[in-house]
Homo-oligomer: A and B are copies of this chain.
Amino acid sequence: MPADAHRTKAAPDAGRAEPASPLTERQEARRRRILQACARLASRGGFDAVQMREVAESSQVALGTLYRYFPSKIHLLVATMQDQLEHLHATLRKKPPAGETAAERVAGTLMRAFRALQRDPLLADAMMRALTFADRGVSAEVEQVFRRTTAIILDATDLADPTPEQLSAVRVIGHTWHSTLITWLSGRASIEQVGEDIDTVCRLIDLTVPPPGRD
């Protein structure tokens, strides 16, 4: 029932996305076509180019069906982001970043993600704008994206059992990551400044993780 596909509400397995309700093969295919069309359109013209009628036509689905799968343009773009983030996370898991300190690894990870986004700035723009524009009605989906981001950062720290302070630091890094990215996408900050700010905020992690065996 795609009507519920986006309501990953009471599902206890909020990490994975699929097995909430059994989509048929055709439905799964539709969903993929839609996400793909969305990404393609965003890639071209950014947020404004993702027009629901276009997405529908482009993925060979009726407008009403599109809305059944994704109840708003924001939902659609947030889902697209979730999708992309999963790819990124999988890639990063295979090649974890090197670095002595946690700060270096986190900064390295984020800079790698940043370079990936630079290759498709308009898509990045569309997704980030949707993410920050989302209101309470999209909270659940946005929350998933944030959780994924947090997980990516936490993976890079290589911490087994983070303290509350460390979690707060990770959240702050996530905030900075999103906000600085927006600033860059809006043309108000240079690539260098983004790198600088990421480095700066990543020091927070080392504040809370004094390397036990440092000379």
Contact = CB atoms under 8 A, between A and B. Distances in A.
B172 A197 contact: yes
A163 to B, nearest CB: 12
Please report whether the interface of chain A is mostly helix, strand, loop or mixed according to DSSP.
helix
A149 B114 CA distance: 25
Given A188-B146, A204-B200, A207-B207, A132 B182 contact: yes
B207 A203 contact: yes
Interface residues of A, number: 38
A164 B192 CA distance: 13
B175 A179 contact: yes
A169 B134 CA distance: 27
Interface stretch (A27-35, A65-73, A135-143): A135-143
Contacts of A204: 200-201, 203-204
A183 B176 CA distance: 13
A207 to B, nearest CB: 6
A75 to B, nearest CB: 14
B197 A171 contact: yes
Interface of A: 47, 125, 129, 132-136, 139, 142-143, 146, 164-165, 168-169, 171-172, 174-176, 178-180, 182-183, 186-188, 193, 196-197, 199-201, 203-204, 207
